[in-house]
Amino acid sequence: MRRKKNARPTRLPRWQEYAVYVSLGALTLTGLVWLGLDWGVRVESEFGPERHPAEHWAMIAHGIAAYAFLVVGGAMIPVHIKLGWSLDRNKVSGLWLGVGSVIAVITALGLYYLGGEGARSTASLAHWLVGLVLIPALIIHAVRGRRGR
Ligand code: HEM
Ligand code: HEM
């Protein structure tokens, strides 16, 4: 692969950078669609008002995006994060982004496996609140990284 003379080792290859934007963008979008439908939309059925069927499809798309993001995010560990860390560059926002992603993953596991309505709804609230912070954290991280070039 041809590299520019001033290329930094911490700089992500273009495809990897876009893979982060696309997978996290899809996660946020599908999460927001679910939230919008769950809060604001009910459909009439013979058993009374019910959730819109698109909520289910939004969660299927969210699950697919989550698998993709886990691969893409995991691929950051061996080079991007290790190098950035050892060169002492962009560490604070990188750490926020990394820790936020881990919390989103742990709370997502809570959504799957926690029994009891109370625990599940706490996991749900924590999950989407942290989830919504990830895109702003990513923007800050990428912009600060660019400034440091
Ligand atoms: C590391 C990133 C993330 C992972 C691994 C992840 C994974 C998951 C999983 C596995 C579920 C349960 C799916 C189901 O019940 O079928 C879920 C639900 C959800 N996620 Fe995420 N997600 C992530 C990021 C986000 C983001 C960025 C948002 C932004 C809004 C978000 C919002 C939601 C919402 C609203 C739900 C439904 C909550 C509920 O059922 O009460 N997630 N997520
Ligand atoms: C402590 C952890 C991290 C450190 C130290 C770190 C370090 C850096 C540095 C130094 C840059 C600027 C690249 C350059 O121009 O040389 C950067 C940019 C970037 N980072 Fe991180 N990072 C961390 C975590 C993450 C995570 C977890 C993700 C995604 C899941 C991520 C995604 C990105 C993206 C998309 C850019 C912008 C593209 C680029 O400039 O190459 N980083 N990071």
85-137: pLDDT as tens digits: 999 999 999 999 999 999 999 999 999 999 899 999 999 999 999 999 999 99
3-34: pLDDT as tens digits: 555 567 889 999 999 999 999 999 999 999 99
**pTM of structure:** 0.93
61-73: pLDDT as tens digits: 999 999 999 999 9
Most informative mutation of 22, 62, 96 for ligand 1 (most atoms within 8 A of CB):
62
Q: With the CA atoms of 65, 113, 32 and 40 taken in that order, what torsion angle do they form, in degrees rounded to the nearest 10?
A: 140
CA 42 – ligand 2 centroid, Å: 41
- Please give the structure tokens belonging to residue 36: 């919008």
Most informative mutation of 24, 85, 90 for ligand 2 (most atoms within 8 A of CB):
90
Instruction: Provide φ and ψ at 41, rounded to 5°.
Output: -125, 130
